[in-house]
Amino acid sequence: MEIKELGHVVLYVSNLERSRHFYGDILGWNEIKSERQGAAMFTAGRTHHELLLLEVGETAQPIPSGRRVGMYHFGLKVGTTDDELIAVIQQIQEAKVPIVGASDHGVTHSLYIQDPDGNEVELYIDVQPELWRDDPSAVLVPTKALVL
């Protein structure tokens, strides 16, 4: 078997409308209109859907804090330049979404935020030129604080 690409992410959410606002209005993903109750699908245009939200209700057990098994975060590429990342920072701040981290991974410049249910989302740009394409070990450089 050979994996060709990551197709989509499915998240359980406590409040569909709140998460729909976050992923659609704040992050700018295009929602695919559907009559399916308790669910919302989004696409950036690469495939039929990259994100599916399934509502489980406000009484569902929240994501535990600290070290745990499960998803740490998922990354969303928001451009290829630091100027684009700076514009994202401004949009995130205007929407009053807290930035919980910022890192220079050598091959990417990354911001970290959390969705309304505490799922961590990395918003990143690939540093140009994309050195990792010719040298996969470039992803192993130590992480530094992000300075834009």
Q: List pLDDT tens digits, range 83-140.
A: 999 999 999 999 999 999 999 999 999 999 999 999 999 999 999 999 889 999 999 9
Quote the tokens at residue 146.
């992000």
User: Which residue, 106, 104, 93, is CA-closest to 141?
Assistant: 106
Q: List pLDDT tens digits, range 18-53.
A: 999 999 999 999 999 888 899 999 999 999 999 999
What's the pLDDT at 18? 98
What's the pLDDT at 25? 97
Q: pTM here?
A: 0.94
Q: List the CATH code of the domain at 73-148.
A: 3.30.720.110
What's the pLDDT at 39? 97
How much is the average pLDDT of 8-24? Answer: 97
Interior angle at CA 8, CA 133 and CA 45, nearest 5: 80
CATH topology assigned to domain 1-58: 2,3-Dihydroxybiphenyl 1,2-Dioxygenase; domain 1 (3.10.180)
Domain positions in the chain: 1-58, 73-148
Instruction: Supply φ then ψ for residue 20, to 5 degrees.
Output: -60, -45
Query: What pairs with residue 116 in β-bridges?
Result: none
State the pairing for strand pair 51-55/108-114.
unpaired
Length of the chain: 148
139 by DSSP, 3-state: which?
Answer: helix
Same fold, 1-58 and 73-148: no
